[in-house]
Amino acid sequence: MNKPLSRAVLSFFAVFFLGFTSKALPAHTSLAGQAIIIVGKANTLTVKGGELYRVDAGGEENIVEHAELSPVKGVKGVGYWIGINPEFEKQRGGMSYRETGIAPETIAPYMGLAGGVYFFDVGGKFIKFLEAGEADMNDVIFSPGGKYVVLDRGTYVDRHYRIFHFETRELMEEFYGMGLKWLDQDRTAFTFIDESEGNRSENSDITGWFSVVVYDMECDKFKTVKYATSTEDYQLIDVDHDARELVIQKFSVKNVRDWGDEGKRRTEVMRVPIPALEYE
């Protein structure tokens, strides 16, 4: 069995998901104002030939070394994104070249930029900024058609997902989990890890109970597709859109004491129909 890595206890999230079926509408937070404030500086970024450049006051373009641009496919009008964390770059810039392997002049182009994700059109022109604070971004996941975008950051089993309406930059929802995938333009599925029960056994390093959950943006509800039990865990592997099924890996033991014995853990891949829309 592939053992999940340990992570910090997210007790408030466990409480948040009690019942797993519904919750009150969140107080949505608009970040459009903040995005507009920094747009002048953001406009000094441009993409040419797959490389990121910073344009100075005199109009001179300077390449940003080691910039990790990511292409965007299948979303109209969006060509690239990059996550920038000035605080991290500043810390690296304060170290010697020998310590970091990166010369200070390669850090300088990041200075003065807000921490977040910058989007560019297919021609390389800056088009949008989403605030992400001073943290590195693992991935950016657009919904089919590009209506929503998820900012994904964290470790293997400690992923912080923030869902934005891409056009308005409104933060729609945020939660923790792992393996998030879009089902359609309004719904995501992911593995929720409930650590309120602690480790599976004294001899096991498996932290938390794994369940598969669907979040519906349209009706703002979380629904558990497969609940973890004392002898079973469920982890989302993939989504088969053609068959309209969730592909889930099931981990199980006959007795709760067997979690500590890897030889007694059983694994199997199962398929579960994607839940019907509740508002159809």
pLDDT digits over 184-241, tens only?
Answer: 999 999 999 888 877 776 665 667 899 999 999 888 899 999 999 999 999 999 999 9
Instruction: Verify that 15 and 37 share a domain, yes or no.
Output: no
- Looking at per-residue pLDDT, the higher value among 278 and 97 belongs to 278
Instruction: Verify that 39 and 133 share a domain, yes or no.
Output: yes
Residue 68, judged by CB atoms within 10 A of its CB (0-12, 13-18, 19+), counts as: exposed
Residue 84, judged by CB atoms within 10 A of its CB (0-12, 13-18, 19+), counts as: buried
DSSP helix/strand/coil, 106: helix
Instruction: Quote the CA–CA distance of 205 and 199 in Å, as a whole number.
Output: 7
Is 274 among the domain residues?
Answer: yes
The candidate with the shortest Cα–Cα distance to 206, out of 176, 251, 236, 238, is: 251
Instruction: Verify that 57 and 110 share a domain, yes or no.
Output: yes
Q: Which of 119, 137, 155 is the last residue of a domain?
A: 137
What average pLDDT does this structure show over 104-130? 77
Evaluate if residue 6 carries a pLDDT over 50. Answer: no
Instruction: Verify that 126 and 199 share a domain, yes or no.
Output: no
Instruction: Verify that 198 and 275 share a domain, yes or no.
Output: yes
Is 203 among the domain residues?
Answer: yes
What average pLDDT does this structure show over 174-183? 92
Instruction: Verify that 36 and 18 share a domain, yes or no.
Output: no
CB-based contact 235:225 (threshold 8 Å): no
Phi and psi torsions of 125, nearest 5°: -80, 135
Evaluate if residue 163 carries a pLDDT over 60. Answer: yes
What average pLDDT does this structure show over 78-104? 57
Say how many domains are in the chain. Answer: 2
Residue 139, judged by CB atoms within 10 A of its CB (0-12, 13-18, 19+), counts as: middle
Instruction: Verify that 81 and 181 share a domain, yes or no.
Output: no
pLDDT at residue 251, rounded to an integer = 95
Instruction: Verify that 202 and 264 share a domain, yes or no.
Output: yes
Q: Which of 121, 137, 153 is the last residue of a domain?
A: 137
Instruction: Verify that 17 and 43 share a domain, yes or no.
Output: no
Is 259 among the domain residues?
Answer: yes
Q: How far is CA 155 from CA 110, 159, 178, 186, in A?
A: 24, 6, 9, 25
Number of H helices, E strands in the chain: 6, 18
Is 149 among the domain residues?
Answer: no
Instruction: Verify that 62 and 16 share a domain, yes or no.
Output: no
Is 159 among the domain residues?
Answer: no
**Which own/partner contact pairs does 156-160 have at CB distance under 8 Å and 24+ positions apart?**
156/4, 156/5, 157/4, 157/5, 157/6, 157/7, 157/193, 157/207, 157/208, 158/7, 158/8, 158/10
Is 156 among the domain residues?
Answer: no
Instruction: Quote the CA–CA distance of 233 and 227 in Å, as a whole number.
Output: 8
Instruction: Quote the CA–CA distance of 57 and 116 in Å, as a whole number.
Output: 22
Instruction: Verify that 47 and 17 share a domain, yes or no.
Output: no
Is 55 among the domain residues?
Answer: yes
Q: Which domain holds residue 270?
A: 1-25+175-280
Is 142 among the domain residues?
Answer: no
